Chains A and B, each alone.
Chain A
Amino acid sequence: MEFDLAYLMAQGPALMRGLWLTVQVSAISIVLSIVIGLMGAAARVLKLPVLDKLVIGYVEFIRNTPLLAQLFFIFYGLPTIGLKLSLFWSGVLSLTLWAGAYQVENIRGGLETVAKGLREAAFSLGLTPWRFFRLIAAPMAIRVGLPSMLNTSISLLKNSSYLQAIGLAELTYVAIDRISMDFRTIEMFAAICVIYLALVLVLSVFANRLENRLNKPFRV
């Protein structure tokens, strides 16, 4: 079976709808996972009672179980205890929780590089722990942690393809659905690989710019 470009063109609109859903789910999840990362890392570094233990448990749980199992747990498991989320928000929740755990560690890694003396200096100047975290530690930690945060975000974007398993019509779902109807395997998988590649490259460019901007004060 040769490569059929006309077929691919005909599937363009369906692929674009899938792409749009992939972008939406991923963008929301990336933002939320970074919020979780910041809060979780703060809880760990500031050694907030109880909360820091909870964060440790959360990170270990997420990192040591498969994403697909977490996804099925949220989509099929939670409704049996009365929490039914829509397809879209089930997807967002599972990706957010998954990436959030990694972001906690990424940002915590950055926070570890903030010199102890800075914290002592801030506290002796009368800053509250929260203001120290917000104004001094977090910006420095993000600068250090950015490459690994980008890594996690890229993984999140790629892992959004798992959501086809619960029937969310994102990019991979569209491809698999069409293949099961039309058997045009090469065309569809080639197309979505190229689209994912382009998405990740765009994300990388964006992150590199951010990195440059955050590094401005440090340039010689």
Chain B
Amino acid sequence: MTMTQFQTWTQFQSRMQSHSRRLPVLSTLAALAATVLSAGLASAQSLPPLPAAIKAAGLLKAGVRCDQPPYGYKDETGKFAGVETDMAIQIAAWAFGSPDKIELTCVTAENRIPQLSGKKVDLLIATLGVTPERARVIDFSKPYRWGGSDMLVAKDSPIKKLDDVAGKIVIMLKGSTQAKWFEDNMPKVDNLRLNTASDALQSLKQGRGDAYTHDAATLIVIAAKDPSLRLVGEPFAISDAAVGVRKNEAEWLAYVDAALDRMKAEGLYAKWVEKWIPADIRPFYTEAFEKPKPTAR
């Protein structure tokens, strides 16, 4: 189904639904106030019908990150938090009429695609970058933001730009976008590939590598907190982040795409960025959601 067909179809559906489905929604309780309000504001943004399989489950099973602030993490009390977590909750609210109709699962960079393929979750909003390798295994929604890579180094490190890491050891996570990028673009650079972001950070601070490369969004938070480290500041490997769904679930994919459109149209991203991200580092994230993708290596 092409995008244009789908959008006209959405609009058609929205006209059909505006009479039949809004009344029961209105009758549900306070948690829905926001949904109802926004639905009233933008009637063209109503969503296509929910696929039967998802509807039958009665709740949304979503995979989110638990170690990637500010996108997906757990707060001090152990509750799910972050922009992408709110996106998942919003989709549940639209799909089932209540933000509580959601089952969130922590996924990691390594296990997120197996979790989706194994039907443990029905979608991934999990800092998932769009790559051709992944697109062979799962389907991507339209991108909702872009994300670049950067490097974290010791404050007094001689590394000032990307090319300075030649002949040095770069720490990265197994299966990360950066691992793939270095393999393709700077294969001569020595790698230390670890399993978790905390292992990587620990190793950098103990001098087991000269730089730690990961998503810029993650590193900015660390650099802001840790005065012994700084960002190199040359962005590379910029890619789109999108929602992941299983292959051959066109109806569900269409629903997710429509939901993302609606989030954008209703200005929800800006609201969430403000909610989860401290003001001093906020501009970077606002750009990632609202501005077009910059060009870089």
Contacts and interface: CB of A to CB of B under 8 A. Distances in A.
A89 to B, nearest CB: 12
Given A79-B206, A84-B207, A183 B137 contact: yes
Interface stretch (A43-51, A56-64, A145-153, A174-182): A174-182
Interface in A175-207: 176-177, 179-183, 185
Nearest to A78: B206
A87 interface: yes
B192 interface: yes
Contacts of A31: none
B174 interface: yes
Contact of B110 (A84, A165, A166, A180): A180
B133 A181 contact: yes
Contacts of A98: none
A139 interface: no
B133 A183 contact: yes
B206 A76 contact: yes
Contact of A185 (B109, B114, B192): B114
Contact of B202 (A76, A165, A169, A182): A76
B69 to A, nearest CB: 22
Interface size on A, as a range, is 10 to 19
B179 A167 contact: no
A133 interface: no
Given A76-B206, A180-B174, A167 B194 contact: yes
For the complex of A and B, 9 pairs with smallest distance between CB atoms: A180-B175, A79-B206, A180-B174, A167-B192, A167-B194, A177-B174, A180-B110, A183-B137, A76-B202
Interface of B: 109-110, 113-114, 133-134, 136-137, 174-175, 179-180, 183, 192-195, 199, 202-203, 206-208
12 contacts: A76-B202, A76-B203, A166-B194, A167-B192, A167-B203, A177-B193, A180-B109, A180-B174, A182-B133, A183-B113, A183-B137, A185-B114
Interface of A: 76, 79-80, 84, 87, 164-167, 169, 173, 176-177, 179-183, 185
